[in-house]
Amino acid sequence: MRRTRPREEPEVKFPRISEKSSLPGNYDEIENSLRSKKWNLERLLEDMRKEQSMLDQAKFMFEIKKQEFVRFLAQSSHHAPASLPL
């Protein structure tokens, strides 16, 4: 019977997690600034949607009033005398 030699166990090394973060020192400040800017952007977009809705409503109401005025002018021109004596 053949005798086998004991194998040497390879040494496995894992990277150590250092206590010191690899993030920049002002990471929290940058993250808070980004979060604030995103919030402001969402608020501005919502304001723009509201303003656009109000503008659309105002244009719609203007068109209705304009049509009413044009009808009024058309009706009143039928009732006016054709020519006034001089």
Number of structural domains (the chain) is 1
Say what the pLDDT of residue 16 is.
72
Instruction: Establish if 10 belongs to a structural domain.
Output: no
Establish if 4 belongs to a structural domain: no
Domain membership flag for residue 63: yes
* Nearest one of 42, 41, 60, 63 to 52, comparing CA atoms: 60
Give the domain extent around 66: 26-75
Residue 81 lies in a domain: no
- State how far the Cα of 77 lies from the Cα of 69, in Å rounded to an integer: 12
Please report, as a single letter, which amino acid is at residue 54. Answer: M
Domain membership flag for residue 59: yes
**33 lies in a domain?**
yes
**Does the structure show a pLDDT above 70 at 8?**
yes
Could you give the residue ranges of the DSSP H alpha helices within the chain? 27-79
Helix (H, G, I), strand (E, B) or coil at 23: coil
- The answer to whether residue 39 sits within a structural domain is yes
* Domain assignment of residue 9, yes or no: no
**28-54 pLDDT per residue, tens:** 999 999 999 999 999 999 999 999 999
